[in-house]
Structure 1
Amino acid sequence: MSANAVSGHAQSNIDGLAGDRYALGESEIVGLAINSPLLTLTADTITSSANISGDYGSIDPMGSSNLANASLSVAGQTIDLDANAAANTAILPGLLNPLGLSLVLNEQTMSDDGSGNASMITNALHLSFNDALLGLGVLNGDIVIGHSQASLSAIANPGNGGGDNGGNGGTPEVPAPGANWLFLIGGLALIMVGMKKQQHRFDASAPMTQGQLIAS
């Protein structure tokens, strides 16, 4: 596996005040080439993003990815991959699965508890090997390309007043701040493969971009 460049970006406008805020993680891979006895996969550019926005009680996770001029060659066939695939698009499972392979484009995993905690993970491309025959052995593992992640947690202010002491009964203010912490990861390309009973891990990423902000 090779790439001309791998980069990541993290951004947020969290400042500890009330109102909508966002957390964003992005990644970009230029000149991707995966060449193996099982398949060949190339792309000019791969990008992904994970975005969390909103305020306490209403946080919206969103993800997206794009593959420019990407193609897959396997079992004597060459397939042009969709540049803007829908979320969690499985590519030709009828052809790949019997070979011990699976390929998912624009893989998105989101979590939102509905009260202020949400996360979004986007993998532009996720290639899995499941007992794939390779020579005299089998190959198990995953190649994840274009990984972006963002998460955000928001809490409500406790309210003003003293209940029985003539205040406002302890009724909370408009929920704020928009977030109390942020964790972003962008630009990760990770290969995990296993041959027979041995496990081999290769980190094919450039230095990972990450940011963390604590707002009281």
Structure 2
Amino acid sequence: MHTVPRTAGIGLLVYGLGTAIGFVGAGAPGGDYEGSLVSGYIATSHFAPAFAFWYVGALAALGLLVFGHGLRDLPSVGGFLEGLAIAACATSVVGVFVSGGLEVAMAEGGSAVRAGVPHPVIYTITEIGNLLAICSPALFVGVAALVLARRSALPRWLRGFCVVAGLCGILAPFYFTYFVFLLWTVVAGVFLIASRTTRLAVEPADSLV
């Protein structure tokens, strides 16, 4: 039995809520193409809010490092789980700076850049950035959730939720599945925080003999 620190839950909760708030608040175009969304995103009045919300998303992604660090001592799977958390954090921050960096280019480049870059190109860049910022880390953390469901002694209901949320995280590019994954980050995070001593027993792997 290994005690999981409450900080792991705090890190997961900060990641889940913070990245979602940053993404929604920044309003980078994605999904179905709409020219009005692109125009609104690169409007000068939107620069300051977008910069602020993207920074919220980038800083929130660092919560995954705390989450992974809290699981690193779990026998046999701790190193793998921490590695998934690190990869998720890295890709999320990269995605933030792709979609947010386009906004910086629009601000620093001035009207010549805003008028010279076709809207479909802007949309394409932000869509790629959004996938990196939101869907890529959801894939990594989704795999981690599946590992916890398979190899941990979390309560049965939470292990079942880990399976569903893990699959939804992996399939996050389908968009609607992301909200189930997001709900899991909140529920699992609160569970780890609320428990005075969360003990996570790692089940031994099946014998190969």
TM-score bucket (shorter structure): under 0.3
- Kindly indicate which of the two structures has a greater share of residues assigned to strand: 1
TM-score, with length taken from structure 2:
0.28
TM-score, with length taken from structure 1:
0.27
